[in-house]
Amino acid sequence: MSPLALVTGATSGIGRAFAERLAADGYDLIVVGRDTARLDTFAAGHPGHDVETVTADLSTDAGIDRVAGLAAERPLDLLVNNAGVAHYMPLADLPAARARELLGVKVIAPTMISRAAVGPMVARGGGAVVNVAGMIAFSGPAPAAAGPPRAVYGGSLAHLVAFSQLLATEVADAGVRVQVLCPGVVATEFHTRQGLDLSAVPRMSPEDVVAAGLRGLELGEVVCAPGVEDAGLLRSAAEAGLAAFAGQSTELATRYRRVPAG
């Protein structure tokens, strides 16, 4: 019996590359996206595989519930939460509808779909979840000049990092693997849809991102950064966060205490 994978955002970019690679590796697939025509084209292009197409908008409760239901019902070996939208702009300028869409797709959807999939995976004693985020998740301390304003987008990716790290510890003993995949700039339609021309910017291919993610699962990496050569940087970032967490006290830190006048 072939392994089964569910991939969201499977109609282009990293999601499409995941679907192509997994099909080549012998997986049956549930491919999820908003564009029915593209999903049907993918299925038609893989006649020797069991490909189920699901048209769903993961910015909506109905779309999330539909895909979460499939994740709970089907014996998934791999879940890839890849769907995404960008909406780069300052928070003060970000329309409320776009903020809700972004949070729905990058925070609520992967959380609820993972929740639906993980219980059955734990019961079966195996499976894997890959949450696609990005290196922008680590850019919070960067100065304004480092990139376009994107507080909500960056914050949503940072959520995926912490969520994946904590979930990995919850399910490790049950044989379930969790990874957050954090590429840098990738050659996809993602930036084009924002009206950004990055054709002159060096970019990683979606296929290389997928290769890194799957190899990272084999290596047991929870945080997979395809473009970071020195893995020690990721370990140092994790250790610094844990050191701050461990350094807390119930006593007010000295720097916050007012010095009496006189």
Decide: 137 and 165 in contact? Cβ < 8 Å: no
What is d(CA 212, CA 130) in angstroms, rounded to the nearest whole number?
12
Radius of gyration of the chain (CA): 20
**Is residue 91 classed exposed, middle or buried when 0-12, 13-18 and 19+ CB atoms within 10 A define those classes?**
exposed
**From 27, 88, 153, 256, the catalytic residue:** 153
What 252-257 contacts at long range (C-beta under 8 Å, 24+ apart), as own/partner pairs, is none
End-to-end CA distance of the chain, in Å?
79
Catalytic residue check, 27: no
Rounded distance, CA 3 to CA 24, Å?
12
Cα–Cα distance between 244 and 236 in angstroms, integer?
A: 12
Short-list 139, 163, 4, CA closest to 70: 4
For the annotated catalytic residues, the residue numbers are 153
